[in-house]
Amino acid sequence: MTSITLDRIAHAYGGKPRSESDYQLKPFQHVWEQGLAYALLGPSGCGKTTLLNIISGLVIPSEGRLLFGDKDVTRLPTEQRNIAQVFQFPVIYDTMTVAENLAFPLKNRRLPKPVIEARVAEIAAMLDLTADLGRRARGLTADAKQKISLGRGLVRSDVSAVLFDEPLTVIDPALKWELRSKLKAVHRALDLLMIYVTHDQIEALTFADKVVVMNDGRAVQIGTPAELFYRPEHTFVGYFIGSPGMNFMPAAVKGDRARVAGFEFGLGQVYDNVPAGQPVQVGVRPEFVSVTSGPGLPAQVRRVADLGRKRLAYVSLGDHPLVVTIPREVEGLGEVVAISIDPANTHVYVADARVQGRAP
């Protein structure tokens, strides 16, 4: 086991990049720590697979160095990189039994038979495959076949990393929840570095210790699920994580006050560092703006969504649309409601990047 370092890695498929927009992966510096579970999360085309393929060796980056521990592997072929990979679709041998499929990567490395048997039994138990060990893979469901693929990816204990590329795509939705929590448990038990590509935030947040949020070829934030939720460093993270995403309002900020559409409210911190001439936004998640029966800012109600577990109101503060929470005790909304904004969870963004305030 070893950490993986991306040292100013960047990639332009077209070659000879002249400007930043020519890169499908913009320069990226990061150390993937051994034993941690990471998710690469972002919309289609943001560069997740490109980054994963650079780590696996399917793509040689245009710039930068890739290190496994101290070893420079930037130009090494995949088979010399000591990684395991799990793809979207099952990669297994239909004519082999489940046990033979799981044992295959270990047999290839000529491990002693008792070691192979013990490891196969361990991985099969983790993935609920024990009862199927003697069955040929051919007759199994797509879900079971993908579980075998996952098992084959996890069976070696000496890999530098296990790379997953949207591994739950073919899994039945009802089984997905179970499998992604299982993968998390497997990660804890096996203590391997795992990197998991997905465009599904629930999958990323359930699985990962740290999530790398990507947009337009750039890693915009690397953080724990809680950091991404409570302190998005970029407006894209606020918008992409959460359901619905963060509210952003163009604002004028002075000291610890924000002014939006002629209405003023307090911020949790003092901002003396907001540069002039750049777009300033205040961001607050729907969970931290609520309809109140007490004093608040006047908002027009446009629509109410009752999601069972929670109710949301789509309102306007002046011209600015906001999604706000309707607490359980509030009933019978009028056309205009009072809303309160939690200053402790309100952030200020300048040119899309969060700026740090200071304690009042």
Residues making contact with ligand ATP (CB under 6 A):
13, 24, 42, 44-50, 199
Nearest residue (CB) to ligand ATP, 111 versus 219: 219
Minimal distance, residue 205 CB to ligand ATP, in Å: 17
- Cβ pair 228, 221 in contact under 8 A: yes
CA gyration radius for the chain? 24
CA distance 190 to 170: 24
Minimal distance, residue 56 CB to ligand ATP, in Å: 12
Residue 57 has which token pair? 């060796």
Minimal distance, residue 32 CB to ligand ATP, in Å: 17
Q: Which helix (H) or strand (E) holds 189?
A: helix 173-190
CA distance 331 to 256: 32
Q: Which residues pair with 283 in a beta bridge?
A: 248, 347
Nearest residue (CB) to ligand ATP, 47 versus 167: 47
Q: Which helix (H) or strand (E) holds 106?
A: helix 98-108
CA distance 285 to 271: 20
DSSP 3-state of 128: coil
Minimal distance, residue 84 CB to ligand ATP, in Å: 19
Nearest residue (CB) to ligand ATP, 155 versus 220: 220
CA distance 314 to 303: 5
Nearest residue (CB) to ligand ATP, 52 versus 348: 52
Residue 55 has which token pair? 């780590």
Nearest residue (CB) to ligand ATP, 50 versus 281: 50
Residue 33: CB atoms within 10 Å: 13
Minimal distance, residue 105 CB to ligand ATP, in Å: 25
Nearest residue (CB) to ligand ATP, 46 versus 126: 46
Got the DSSP string for 151-168?
Answer: HHHHS-SS-SEEEEESTT
Nearest residue (CB) to ligand ATP, 165 versus 233: 165
Minimal distance, residue 162 CB to ligand ATP, in Å: 18
Nearest residue (CB) to ligand ATP, 46 versus 246: 46
Minimal distance, residue 41 CB to ligand ATP, in Å: 9
- Cβ pair 205, 242 in contact under 8 A: no
CA distance 342 to 297: 12
Tell which phi-psi region holds residue 332, choosing left (phi > 0), alpha (psi between -120 and 50) or beta.
Answer: left
Minimal distance, residue 165 CB to ligand ATP, in Å: 8
